[in-house]
Structure 1
Amino acid sequence: MKLVVVSIIAFIVVLHTIPLLAQEITGNIEGRIVDQAGEPVAFANVNVSSPSLQGMRGMMSTADGHFGIFKLPVGVYTVRISHVSYHEATYEDVAVRLGRTTTLGEIRLTLKVHEVPAVVVTEERKLIDPTSTAIGVNLSAEQFKELPLDRNYQNITTLLPHANESFFGDGVNFAGSTGQENKYFIDGVETTDPHMGITGTTLPYNFLQELEVKTGGYEAEYRSSLGGIVNVISRSGGNEFHGQAFGFFVNNELTGTTRHSFMDPPTGDFANYDVGLSLGGPIKRDKLWFFAAYNPSFVIENVNIPGIGFHEDKSITHIFAGKLTWRATNKTNLDFTITGDPRKREAVEDIAAYGVVSLENPDPSLGEHTTGGINLLVNGRHLFSDKFFLEAAVSRVTRRQKIEASTERGRNEVVFVDRETGIASGGYSGFGPSDAYSAQMTANAKATLILGKHMLKTGLEYRDSRLDFANDLIIIERYDDSTYTETIILSRPGTVHNRIPSAFIQESWRITDRIRINAGFRWDGQYLIDTNGDVAQKITDQYQPRIGFVYQPGELGSQKIFGSFGRFYQELHLELSNRAHTDRSVFSVTEFDHDPRVDPTGGTVSLAFSGEIHPEVEGLDGQHYDEFTLGYERQVGNRFTLGARGIYRTLREGIEDGFVEDIGDFRYGNPGKGYLSDFPEMKREYTALELTAQMFGGARYNARASYVLSRNYGNYPGLIGLPNLEQFELVESMKNAEGLLDNDRTHVFKLSGSYRPGFGFAAGASFTWQRRPDAVHMGSELPVCVRSSPCS
């Protein structure tokens, strides 16, 4: 008991300084025990064991025969059921999935007066979660490790329904949203970059045990996003030592012609390779386990510099993961996790955005990037009883994006662009030097109480997302012999925050064995802090009701009809505060009648302003959508499932910045209200029908197929992040802007599978076919076109 008290005190101390668990890292097993007449069997002993579990867990069935063992590490379990009056029953190879409940259905026991052998069940398995309305998919390592995939786990999601690759370089688009509207979690901790909302920490799939994707219908305990939620858990140690060595190599000789994002510069030969090692095992059996992995990754590519020729762009990423799993007491478990992906890149920048057609010297294109980050986590679970348990976690997530010149000339000279010839020369041009360091600190605690047919959960969370930033850019341009300009864009060092308190309460009520209602309520606040340390903007009315139902017709655990309604908010990225809540920026344009590199005097300032902290927008609504879902899922035999789901998402409010003529400057707000009342209200509606089929063959074979018919309609595609694609900047740009959005994918069919016949051989394949309109109209009746779908 003393150790438990010490652990709890340690949690409380750390909670004041670092962040907490936000997604599930465990799963559950449930079932109902009856006799041969179908009557419930009370006080039966249910015990579970697994290579993933330290020691053994158990409980007794209730008066109505039900049992549920919760917060189990993901893995394959053996379930033993015994009673003084009945023969023992054993279920083997029971898979506990990430964030899911595995049901054993009705378990019939035989009285000991009958002479029958002990029952051992190995083939029968339930593949449907009878408790959840969430729309999403789980993939175990056995299901994705044999497939031809990119190395980063984030790309695995493109195998799944509603997850489509983007042509704009913003990552995977889920359910009509854009890549900057997703959230990524590793071992329960969000690793999404809080600055821009881009994908977070890179990990190879070799480090992972399971991946979970949620695209909708989830409960109030989960922090939401406008896109998808991707949650993975890394591998753990065990009572036996295990490890692997792996390698990967690909170059342009081994691939087809790549279709790049339309902003990418021309490239030549390339090579991408990595090697990796991992090792896990016991420090003390059933008490303390370890896992460690390291995977250096190398990318080398020849990139064309106009007027110079090809130059090598190369990078190395040091990817690592480590975990300690400690069974502190029989009722207390602690996990200590570290992951990271620090990266160094000698980059060849594309400076086409400057209108440059050629370079006189290569230095304007040569930069050095320092990126990536490190994540630290401590999480714990304490079981007060079979019906009451507490979870807590602390973590620190850091990211860096530092850009600077890689050559001496690049550091010491300014970039010079001759507008008559389109030729650039001089120093580095890559919007640097700049340095953005973000740290996300979150803390939460969650309690679960089971009272008969009711499972009650409540939790609190506090998050502090911080951005330290600075950048400096000077560019000199020549228009003719007597016309030069010098443009200075400067951000002095500053810090902004978004502080987010959250709370939720929810109930899962098993009305009967066939009907379950999940209902909950969540609240999130946002307090954006400016560079002076003051609250610059508050959003405090983010109330989120969520409700769903599950009905099981026929044999329990074999099929379900389910539906849900929910409201889902997503917090603002710190880029908004970086623009609107700082007074550290300076912008100026100075005109000269001579070359200012020769004589910096005698210029006339034609444009100059300093950044200001924008006034708070009263009544600002957070960005959110409402969602309705309805679905049916059925198990066929022991290895197949079929499903059909309908989704309707409608964006209720968004936040953008636009030019306000009365002020003569940009202001952020809700389009159609306040400062932006001249703009149309944001609209984005995603309507989809999803059909799925899955085959589960364990370690030997797996396959899945899906078809999604969808429409993504409105005037707001989402947070894309490319400067020339920002929406709602000018009222005129929003004329005729409503229609099918550029990431609409009307028809998408996907098929993937793997087979391992034995003798060390394995094969896997994946196929995607999608169709979208040839052009979509976005403002001023100008079509937006992409390489895969050119405009005629």
Structure 2
Amino acid sequence: MKSMGFRRTALCVALGVCLTSALSLHQAHAANTDGSLVGRTTPNAEVTVRNPATGFVRTVRSDEQGNYRFPFLPVGNYQVEVVADGQALSEPAQTTISLGNATTLNIAAGGSATDLAAVQVVGSRVISPVDVTSTEIATNISREEVARLPVQRDIIDVATLAPGVNRGEFGGISFGGSSVAENTVYINGLNVTDFYNRVGFSSLPFSFLEEFQIKTGGYSVEYGRSTGGVINAVTRRGTNEFHAGADIVIDGLWQGNGKNYAPTLYTQWDDSDENNYSVWGSGALIKDRLFFFGIYEKRDLDSQNTDDGGGNFFENQGDNDFWGAKVDWQINDANLLEVFGFSDKNDTTQDVFGFDPDTGTRAEFRNRIINKTGGDNWAATYTGYFTDTFSMKAMYGENERTASAIGVNDDRCSLVQDQRVNTSFIGCTSNTAVIDRTDTREAMRLDFEWSLGDHLLRFGADHENNTSEYSSRYPGDGLRYEVNNAGARVNGVTVPAGTVYVRTRQVANQGTFETENEAYYIEDNWNVTPNILLNLGMRLESFDNKDAAGNSYIKLNDMIAPRFGFSWDLNGDGRSKVFGNAGRYFLPVANVINIKQAGPFLDARRFYFWDGTFADGDNPIPGLGAEIGTVDDSQGDGSVADFRGEVDKDMDPVYQDEFILGFQQMLGEKWSWGVSGTYRKMRNAIDDMEVVNSCGDSGFVMANPGKNLTYYTDTDCDGESDGFVTIDTGTTGWELRDGTMIGWENPKRTYRAIELQLDRAWDDKWAFNATYVWSASKGNYEGPVNSDTDFSDSGRTEAFDNPFVEIGGYGFLPNDHRHQIKLRGNYAITDNWTVGATLDARSGRPMSEYGAGNPYDDNEFLTHYICESDPSLCYTDEGQWRLSRRGAYDTLPWTYNLGLSVAYNTNLGPVKLNAKFAVYNVFNQQTVIERNETLQEEEGVGLMNPFFGNPTAFQAPRNAQFILSLSY
């Protein structure tokens, strides 16, 4: 102990800063729109923080141990002064407050300040990336860092710089093995995540954004509604000085040609030119009090592409405006008000032509589709510093997202596919749905901080009303026609060998659907010893999904999410730490469930023998012969059903438990390294299950697979529901041919990962970051969506339709990438020229082979069973079946994506010029990243799919981008 004390004393002498005592670890956390400043100095001194750019000044008094804290500080550069007994202890210290982090600054009499801020650099002075006050895993990336790297100017590409984060299906991203429908995105504290399906989010131009934080694990109780990750971003703000600028982004340069894989995938003719032109301005309306930042962007889209089957050619054009603004009012030193808003409304015109992929020629005009997305968004946030130890934030905001697709031929043309040939639509429309949907989120939250000695209490409330106004139908006569080869059975009926059948499907729905999500949280950050912080928190959540009449459909209350973490500053010098946390995270039920399960949803499927003809003209509806079987409307008959028979009365929520243990250490003054281990386990699922009651009648019920189900059903077999029945779905619920009952397996998903990271901070000369992640994502449940079967309705997957779907379903999941290597760095050749590089290398995902049907009953569902007999024998005693387990068929190859950039910076008098040329996927690698995994279609039991194994997606080809920025 004396030796350790001597070393600390020597450090005090060398730096002029006394670090022998605690580093105020309990004062660690920051809200999701700002940061905080904490540290130690002389007891009972006045500590003043000042932002020279805005005139913001706040003073607090350190306690009897010398601890001080400034919560809820806007992101930016600050000066810190300490006065004791009327005398300044030292020269003002310079520090930077970064998003979501606590900057630790300790100031001793007669010396300089030691800044232990996380992930920041001020000028050429390096600041430690080891945040000994944090128990989470997060990556901070500033706008300046992105400007030095070959990174596309959108939030998804920035997020994928973080370890363990990858692009996934449906335009989403996967965090730590989770599906793409489990994340949350915040802009200035406003949740902008798509709540209809939980995949997308509202978009902002890069010129409007200031800093990003990507939380990949261990986030605190103020965050919820996510079992994946959190993206947190803040916009730019005005200062006392007037600044203005213009950005020109030319995208689509030096594009590589895509690949073709006939007859199911054609990308050779895909091309996209998207140019953005923005102007912005910022300054003070009232010096030191009222500031503004405003931006206007013109978005010019001109792209073309074919559909997967190559039968249709699309020309897309968009000429859209974006506007955004932020106003900050420093009412006084103790009260702040900020208001921001933006409009990301986007209208795209899509002209559809016929196409001949053999000759690469465009044919006749077929349709024009108008797509509308985005909406108007705004939020107001109040910050109050009531005392030195008690502060609060209050926010109210609205987030709007529109999804509309309307074609000029929608009234006269129907959807027609000849799936014996490829997946292209034939005829005068390819518009898969006439949709008009507006999703509006009304968000409110309160956040409080109260310092009480060795304890920092954080508590608050978070409430959202999420409303979807929805209508949808198929175009034309409202039917979708699919022609295909039959297997042994069609719609439960045995058919002759060689049968070609037509399936018609009618899907329609409309109504207004609301969901209320509410949460309360409390957290104690307890400085147990001088160097050990305990983080003890709890979040109480509730989700209430309602039907079109406003009645509760799925209501989940009293969900307790504990979060526990620790951080141990090993030597008390802020240069190394051991940290860990354990937490529970709940996932809301997406609004698509209310809409398609609790509304007048119609999903009627009929099956016919094909008469061998198509109608003449540009609307080639296939000729229908005799009907096969009866109408299948088990997903919805167009009426509002008695929900007691369609949803579990005592449903449990979806949640995941997470455990993290890590170590981080500085190496010298510029380098650091770290290692961490993560274990995640999904504990439950909510999905639709087809349950057979004791009378032999079946129907789909929203429930927890493998657990008890209580629902209203027919108990005396008179054809009418008359009472509640509770069954154990783990052992019963589905009737076999011999009359016995079987049940479902419990949902399983585990994620194990080891993460290694090496970082060299930017010092005006060069920077470097390298990460390696070994991970394994395994189970029988990917999450609310299915990537391997391309099913994107969150929570309505095929995964638990019947018990046979999950037999053999345990294995490595679609978001499993065993090895991931990410490198990024930049080097300043001169004061004007900088080069940058990124490399993303990852192993391929596993591939399954899905069959249809099973040897135990006569129903056709996608399963892991493959009938290898003649189709006519599959459902007889002579049928031969093979079980092909999930992910065991193949593993797709590694992908390598190298990006290079060169940037030039100079001053033209008072104007700063920045130009960057970046190339993505330099070597035009186009590795297969997805294949058709369906060996046998549902109606094709025993009949092999000729397109099985065909690529369905390639790595995006090479693309280059030029960015020119002028600022004053």
Normalised by the length of structure 1, the TM-score is 0.86
Q: Secondary structure at the match of 1:579?
A: helix
| Equivalent AA in structure 1 for residue 323 of structure 2 | F
Taking every aligned residue pair, what percent have the same amino acid on both sides? 24
Q: Is the 8 A contact 2:305 2:313 kept in 1?
A: yes
Partners in 1 of 2:221 and 2:598 — Cα distance? 31
Cross-structure match for 1:293? 295
Cross-structure match for 2:37? 29
Partners in 1 of 2:348 and 2:580 — Cα distance? 47
Q: Secondary structure at the match of 1:156?
A: helix
Partners in 1 of 2:173 and 2:608 — Cα distance? 44
Say whether 1:617 aligns with 2:648. yes
Q: CA deviation at 1:421?
A: 7.9
Cross-structure match for 1:11? none
Say whether 1:278 aligns with 2:252. no
Q: 1:252 to 1:69 in 2, by over 3 A?
A: closer
Say whether 1:579 aligns with 2:583. no
Identify the match of residue 157 of structure 1 among 156, 159, 169.
159
Q: Is the 8 A contact 1:361 1:426 kept in 2?
A: no
Q: CA deviation at 1:601?
A: 13
Partners in 2 of 1:766 and 1:476 — Cα distance? 45
Cross-structure match for 1:323? 326
- Larger CA deviation: 137-146 vs 563-572: 137-146
Question: Number of paired residues?
Answer: 747
Say whether 1:562 aligns with 2:566. no
Q: 1:146 to 1:648 in 2, by over 3 A?
A: same
Partners in 2 of 1:323 and 1:372 — Cα distance? 19
Say whether 1:665 aligns with 2:699. yes
Q: Is the 8 A contact 1:738 1:777 kept in 2?
A: no
Say whether 1:635 aligns with 2:666. yes
Cross-structure match for 1:514? 531
| Equivalent AA in structure 2 for residue 153 of structure 1 | I
Cross-structure match for 2:681? 650
1:68-467 mapped onto 2 (5 Å cutoff):
68-84=69-85, 88-90=89-91, 92-104=93-105, 106-110=106-110, 123=125, 125-166=127-168, 168-251=169-252, 253-255=254-256, 266=267, 267-304=269-306, 310-347=313-350, 362-363=365-366, 366-405=368-407, 407=408, 409-416=409-416, 425-467=426-468
Q: 1:417 to 1:98 in 2, by over 3 A?
A: closer
Q: CA deviation at 1:744?
A: 0.9
Partners in 2 of 1:600 and 1:771 — Cα distance? 47
Partners in 1 of 2:326 and 2:44 — Cα distance? 37
- Larger CA deviation: 192-201 vs 170-179: 170-179
Cross-structure match for 1:735? 807
Q: Secondary structure at the match of 1:142?
A: helix
Q: 1:358 to 1:621 in 2, by over 3 A?
A: farther
- Larger CA deviation: 774-783 vs 625-634: 774-783
Q: Is the 8 A contact 1:28 1:68 kept in 2?
A: yes
Q: Secondary structure at the match of 1:718?
A: coil
Identify the match of residue 552 of structure 2 among 535, 539, 550.
535
Partners in 2 of 1:519 and 1:213 — Cα distance? 22
Q: Is the 8 A contact 2:747 2:781 kept in 1?
A: yes
Q: 1:91 to 1:693 in 2, by over 3 A?
A: farther
Q: CA deviation at 1:333?
A: 0.4
Q: Is the 8 A contact 2:132 2:569 kept in 1?
A: yes
Q: 1:666 to 1:50 in 2, by over 3 A?
A: same
Q: Secondary structure at the match of 1:323?
A: strand
Partners in 2 of 1:136 and 1:652 — Cα distance? 24
Q: 1:571 to 1:348 in 2, by over 3 A?
A: farther
Q: Is the 8 A contact 2:679 2:751 kept in 1?
A: yes
Q: CA deviation at 1:776?
A: 5.2
Q: CA deviation at 1:468?
A: 1.2
Q: CA deviation at 1:494?
A: 0.3
- Larger CA deviation: 80-89 vs 286-295: 80-89
Partners in 2 of 1:601 and 1:255 — Cα distance? 44
Q: Is the 8 A contact 2:513 2:591 kept in 1?
A: yes
Q: 1:602 to 1:641 in 2, by over 3 A?
A: closer
Q: Secondary structure at the match of 1:132?
A: coil
Cross-structure match for 1:18? none
Cross-structure match for 2:879? none
Partners in 2 of 1:711 and 1:760 — Cα distance? 44
Partners in 1 of 2:266 and 2:380 — Cα distance? 42
Partners in 2 of 1:157 and 1:470 — Cα distance? 33
Q: 1:311 to 1:218 in 2, by over 3 A?
A: closer
Q: Secondary structure at the match of 2:163?
A: coil
Cross-structure match for 2:488? none
Partners in 2 of 1:307 and 1:739 — Cα distance? 34
| Equivalent AA in structure 2 for residue 89 of structure 1 | S
| Equivalent AA in structure 1 for residue 638 of structure 2 | S
Q: 1:179 to 1:737 in 2, by over 3 A?
A: same
Cross-structure match for 1:752? 824
Identify the match of residue 769 of structure 2 among 690, 704, 712.
704
Partners in 1 of 2:804 and 2:228 — Cα distance? 28
Q: CA deviation at 1:185?
A: 0.8
| Equivalent AA in structure 1 for residue 676 of structure 2 | R
Identify the match of residue 693 of structure 1 among 753, 758, 775.
758
Partners in 1 of 2:518 and 2:704 — Cα distance? 22
- Larger CA deviation: 751-760 vs 375-384: 751-760
Identify the match of residue 520 of structure 2 among 500, 503, 516.
503
Q: Is the 8 A contact 1:494 1:584 kept in 2?
A: no
Cross-structure match for 1:14? none
Q: CA deviation at 1:698?
A: 5.2
Identify the match of residue 550 of structure 1 among 550, 567, 581.
567
Q: Secondary structure at the match of 1:169?
A: helix
Partners in 2 of 1:739 and 1:30 — Cα distance? 47
Q: Secondary structure at the match of 1:732?
A: helix
Q: 1:281 to 1:612 in 2, by over 3 A?
A: same
Partners in 2 of 1:317 and 1:686 — Cα distance? 41
Q: CA deviation at 1:349?
A: 7.4
* CA RMSD, 1 decimal: 3.5
Structure 2: any 5+ residue segments left out of the alignment? 1-29, 116-121, 485-498, 710-728, 731-742, 792-796, 851-862, 865-883, 893-927, 932-948, 951-968
| Equivalent AA in structure 2 for residue 669 of structure 1 | A
Say whether 1:679 aligns with 2:820. no
Q: Is the 8 A contact 1:476 1:487 kept in 2?
A: yes
Structure 1: any 5+ residue segments left out of the alignment? 1-21, 34-40, 111-116
Q: Deviations over 1:677-723 (max 9, x none)?
A: 42211111111111112222255543211111111111111233666
Partners in 1 of 2:339 and 2:428 — Cα distance? 45
Q: CA deviation at 1:393?
A: 0.5
Q: Secondary structure at the match of 1:195?
A: coil
Q: Secondary structure at the match of 2:223?
A: coil
| Equivalent AA in structure 1 for residue 682 of structure 2 | L
Partners in 1 of 2:929 and 2:302 — Cα distance? 26
Partners in 2 of 1:358 and 1:654 — Cα distance? 48
Q: CA deviation at 1:526?
A: 1.0
Q: Is the 8 A contact 2:812 2:846 kept in 1?
A: no
| Equivalent AA in structure 2 for residue 668 of structure 1 | M
Partners in 2 of 1:191 and 1:300 — Cα distance? 27
Partners in 2 of 1:403 and 1:258 — Cα distance? 28
Q: Is the 8 A contact 1:591 1:606 kept in 2?
A: no
Say whether 1:788 aligns with 2:929. yes
Q: Is the 8 A contact 1:197 1:573 kept in 2?
A: yes
| Equivalent AA in structure 2 for residue 337 of structure 1 | F
Q: Is the 8 A contact 1:94 1:125 kept in 2?
A: no
Q: Is the 8 A contact 2:353 2:364 kept in 1?
A: no
